[in-house]
Amino acid sequence: MNRLTLFDAAERPDPALVERFSRLNTPAVSDNLERCHGSVGLYPVGGCLAALGLKAMAGPALTVRTRPGDNLVVHKALDLAQPGDILVIDARGEVTNAILGELMCRYARSRGIAGIVLDGAIRDFDALSAGILPVFARSASHLGPYKSGPGEIHGTVHIGGITVDDGDILVGDADGVVVVPRWRAEATVAAAERVVEMERQQAEEIDNGRLDRSWIDRALEVVPANGAARA
């Protein structure tokens, strides 16, 4: 029998909070998480976001840890998922064998899953790029997966250099994926909303030629080089 370690599912965040995150971009969120709570090397598959008319995806993490190149427990996670969940799959970054492709993503969509973030490879790149649902991955491979386990669901995983706990909020867009710890979600979304508004105002000032750049000189000590001694 193939072993699945099934942890208790985390409490899911308020849907209204998730919806606020879905209107934000990842830089605004990341800037309010010390600029270090994002994954590295995981990006949208082709044009999947644009094809769905989305700028970003957001939702609570349903975490999955699987043996590299194997997707047995990923199939189980699809059946356990609730609408709005984002499957976060730790496949150790191995990209030789794809973990999922078109059919699994179609099934995920039928279950109401909001997206998939995979530290591993997908296949059926063209079909996923056309917009079945938001999918973020490290690479693509035509080589298919095995189904022999083992794995874990709802435990702590690691994707793209960042730790993700079940129930954390993920925000993904063209720049990548940022992970918002559950306990920081309320403060982070409020701070990120302020950043978005500030940057909107700055963009307007740039377009109107009114941007104040005096902060640069205040931050620098300018030392003239003319006449400086040479070694």
**At 137, which amino acid appears?**
A
Question: Quick one: which of 154, 182, 152, 184 has its CA closest to 166?
Answer: 154
pTM: 0.92
Q: Does 229 score more than 90 pLDDT?
A: no
Residues 91-148: tens digit of each pLDDT: 999 999 999 999 999 999 999 999 999 999 999 999 999 999 999 999 999 999 999 9
What residue numbers does the annotated binding site cover? 101-104, 123-124
pLDDT bin (cut points 50, 70, 90) of residue 230 is low
Domains in the chain (CATH in brackets) are 4-194 (3.50.30.40)
What residue numbers does the annotated binding site for Mg(2+) cover? 124
pLDDT bin (cut points 50, 70, 90) of residue 231 is low
Residues 186-206: tens digit of each pLDDT: 999 999 999 999 999 999 999
CA distance 116 to 77: 11
What percent of the chain has pLDDT above 90? 93
What residue numbers does the annotated binding site for substrate cover? 101-104, 123
Q: 109 CB contacts (<8 Å, ≥6 apart)?
A: 132, 133
Q: At CA 158, angle to CA 126 and CA 53, rounded to 5?
A: 35
For 212-231, what is the mean pLDDT?
A: 82
